[in-house]
Every structure is written in C-alpha cells, then in structure tokens.
Amino acid sequence: MRSKLLQLLRQTNGYISGQEISKQLGISRTAVWKHMEELRKNGYELEAVPRKGYRLLNDPNRAGEDEIKAKLQTQTLGQEIIYKNEVTSTQEEAHEAARKGAAEGTIIVADRQLKGKGRLGRKWESPPGSGLWFSLILRPPIPPQEAPQLTLLTAVAVTEAVTEATGLQPQIKWPNDILLNGKKVAGILTEMQSDPDRIQAVIVGIGININQMEFPEELSDIATSLKQESEGTTYSRADFIAILLSRYEYWYHHYLKHGFLDVKKRWEALTFTIGKKIKATTVTKTLIGTAVGITDDGVLLLKKEDGEIEHIYSADISL
C-alpha cells in the first residue's frame, strides 16, 4: 500500500487531498494518515497543508534529474538527463532521442517501465520506487561488428559500481548477467542504430535491482537486489547511478583510447563463466562444452567434448 501511496504522491504535481488519496487507494482517511507517518519515519519529507492536502518535498529514494545531477562526477556521461516517472521502455525512448540527435552520454531514466525489455523479446520486471532502469546513448567511432564489446564493457562497469557502492562482489555471467550469490541483480541490453559500416548510436539499457525486497513468484529463485544481499540496507538510486556513470566513463574512455584488451582482461577477472562446463542454448541449437575464453570481439569460445572450438555469438548459458 505504501508504494502505491508513494507512486500517487510522486505522480502529483503539487498537493493531493487526503480525501482523494483515500478514494484512489480505497482506504480510510485514518489509514492515509498512518501511512504518511510511516513515510516520514523513513526519511520522506511530507508537507501537509489544511484544505490543500499532502505534498512530497523530499524523496530519499528518487533518482530524478536534480538528484542525479547533484551527485554526478562525470565529464560527458549523464550530462543530459531525461527523467520520466513511467515509460513503456527506456530503450524505446532512447532510440527515439538518438534518432532526433541526442548527444553522446544522454541518459533516459524511468522510475517504472510498463514493458521493460530483456533480450530476444523477453520481459524485464521494472516496478516503481525500487530499481534503476535507464538507457545510455553512446556514439562510439567503432565498426558495427565491434559493438558487442560494449556489452562486456558495461558488465565490467556495473560490477565495479556494485562493489564500490555496497562492498559486495558480483560475478559476470556471459554475456550480460550480473549475479550476486548466483542470482541476477542486473541485466544489460545493447542495441544499435547503424549504417552498414558506421554506428549511428548504441543504446545501452541497464536494469539494476536496488531496493526490492520481493519479486514476482517466477523470479523469486533467480533474481535478487542489492538490498536483499546486504541485510536490508537501502541504497540511494541517485548515488548508485552517479557511481556507475563514473566507472562507465573511465572504462569507455580507456576503451576508445587503448582498445578492448584491458576491458577484456578485467572482464575475464570478474566472470565465472570461463573454465566452467556449460550448456549454451542458441536460437538454433544447444551445445555442451567448456567455456575456454572470449575472443577480442567478445565472442565466447566453447570447447566441445570432441575438442572442436565453437564461436558463440549469442546464447543463454547454464551450468
């Protein structure tokens, strides 16, 4: 109920009356008042004005433009911020912004996605108030076939940011999963707008479960959040995105200047996929073998039992 109330307060420009809240949420005025007190105890600053109603002044967990800008320490990434309370998917918004010429480093952040996207048309669960759902627009001067390297670079930046923000040490599962204790805490979706020989834009979608304490049933065994993995500590989403964009900027500039090699080495140090016996399910077939490394393009090398090496460009990996 409290998250519904928060959503209502966040969506309202100005004041909303206690009566309106009790009507919209189907609870009594006394219950509204009690929930407001709880929110206050949790650090939310609420103004209550007779005959006008309630207004949210300070939202400790909001990751809006002002909150992010107050924390940012980057030169280019995140200098342009488009913030929305609710979108279909930040990827769609970012594609549109990129087509209209948005500058490199622009981020599109949403509190909630109604149709968050995973790879291959899968769904990304993106409830309001708890996670970080955003897309970053890059315009790297690299050939289109090298764009998958950016997925690995992103995984390195997200992993390092989690460690810096929480002290936890996630592991990367090729190509795009960030895991804590074997459960997925973040996912990455890299998409591209490109001519045959030139990238127009790369849209890097990043979803990180920050403060969720529960997941829908189908995810409860496979998903986790930073909060769940740190005994209920609540993290600031604005702090987290600022840390992540700093790590990202460091690696992105390093990559553009010196190439993929150092990113690859760092990625290999942070993954648990390499050296493991795995099952790789691609769109057309299932392969079993040992993951022996990645190529300089970020392609996974799988050594089959007969010794032959397969190049895996896109697949789901299980152990």
Structure tokens at 51: 């005959």
Q: Does 274 bind ligand BT5 (CB under 6 A)?
A: no
The residue from 125, 160, 229, 249 that contacts ligand BT5 (CB under 6 A) is 125
The residue from 33, 80, 84, 118 that contacts ligand BT5 (CB under 6 A) is 118
CB of 46: closest distance to ligand BT5 in angstroms? 29
SS3 for 239? helix
Q: Does 190 bind ligand BT5 (CB under 6 A)?
A: no
Region from 59-67, 122-130, 260-268, 271-279 binding ligand BT5, contact rule CB under 6 A? 122-130
The residue from 113, 159, 166, 190 that contacts ligand BT5 (CB under 6 A) is 113
CA pair distance 175, 271, nearest whole angstrom:
10
CB of 140: closest distance to ligand BT5 in angstroms? 19
Region from 26-34, 111-119, 155-163, 303-311 binding ligand BT5, contact rule CB under 6 A? 111-119
Structure tokens at 319: 């152990």
The per-residue b/e assignment along 67-96, b for 16 or more CB within 10 angstroms, e otherwise, is: bbeebbebeebbebbbbbeebebbbbbbbe
First to last CA, the chain: 39
Q: In 3D, which of 89, 69, 109, 84 has the Cα closest to residue 10?
A: 84
Q: Between residue 133 and residue 162, which ones bind ligand BT5 under the rule CB under 6 A?
A: 133-135
Q: Does 124 bind ligand BT5 (CB under 6 A)?
A: yes
CA pair distance 243, 259, nearest whole angstrom:
23
Nearer to ligand BT5, 170 or 207 (CB): 207
CB 109 within 8 A of CB 63: yes
The residue from 35, 53, 67, 91 that contacts ligand BT5 (CB under 6 A) is 91
Flag whether 285 is marked binding: no
Region from 61-69, 186-194, 241-249, 272-280 binding ligand BT5, contact rule CB under 6 A? 186-194
Cα-Cα-Cα-Cα dihedral of 4, 7, 13, 18, to 10°? 20
CA pair distance 126, 160, nearest whole angstrom:
22
- Tallying the residues shown for the chain, one arrives at 319
Binding positions for biotin? 113, 184
Binding residues for ligand BT5, rule: CB under 6 A, are: 89-91, 113, 116-120, 122-125, 133-135, 176, 184, 187-189, 205-207, 209, 219, 223
